[in-house]
Amino acid sequence: MTKPESLPIRPRPIEVLRQATDACRECPLGARATQSVMGEGPLHAVLMVVGEQPGDKEDLAGRPFVGPAGRLFDRAAAELGWNRERLYVTNAVKHFKFELRGKRRMHKTPAQREIDACHHWLEAEIARVKPDAFLALGATAARALLQRPVAVMRERGQWHEDAAGRRVLVTLHPSALLRGDPAQREAAWTAWLKDLSAASGLLLP
């Protein structure tokens, strides 16, 4: 049974949530993934960074953003001088969705019904961490947080508010930069740093 929206969510420890998401079969993703991947970082983090879903590396490690996209985010955070100890990093969807190409597990974008099915886990995580603000990396995260379709290219680099007044900064997912036109890479990197710098006031030591 789903919880009525108006009831506050009882905060549960992250390890309890990790076990519960690991056992979750509310959508088909859990049965194929190695394990669920919960977020990492301090409770009461200043900024909760939300990605789409774990990738291949994250699925195997059981940790968020440890693959190429995570390394790019780490580079940006370092370049901006952000204090990583104030960040909590997680995903909108807790299991890796993939299709097999030969032996390779290729990332597949989660369907809206899978994002919706996972939404209560994200809310449970938010209830536990209680961050001051959010950084949505890409359209899946932005939509999960703001509960509306988000045109990332139009809305990037700006703070938005959800219905509950939570502040969400929207930008591209780092994978978009990794996949982007190599000739545009420098410009895309500079524009991404500019988007992210809107949160620097929260994160500079």
Beta bridge partners of 91: 51
CB of 36: closest distance to ligand URA in angstroms? 12
- ∠ CA 13-19-25, nearest 5°, is 125
Residue 129: both structure tokens together: 């961490």
Cβ proximity of 126 and 141 under 8 Å: no
Q: What does the alpha-carbon distance between residue 67 and residue 57 come to, in Å, rounded to a whole number?
A: 5
For ligand URA, the closer CB: 30 or 70: 70
Q: Is the dihedral of CA 76, 82, 85, 91 positive or negative?
A: negative
For ligand URA, the closer CB: 89 or 124: 89
CB of 6: closest distance to ligand URA in angstroms? 30
Helices 139-146 and 112-129: crossing angle in degrees, nearest 10, is: 60
Residue 55 interacting with ligand URA (CB under 6 A): yes
Stretch that binds ligand URA, among 25-33, 49-57, 125-133, 196-204 (CB under 6 A): 49-57
Q: Which of residues 66-85 bind ligand URA (CB under 6 A)?
A: 67, 69-70
Residue 39 interacting with ligand URA (CB under 6 A): no
Give the count of residues interacting with ligand URA (CB under 6 A): 12
CB of 190: closest distance to ligand URA in angstroms? 22
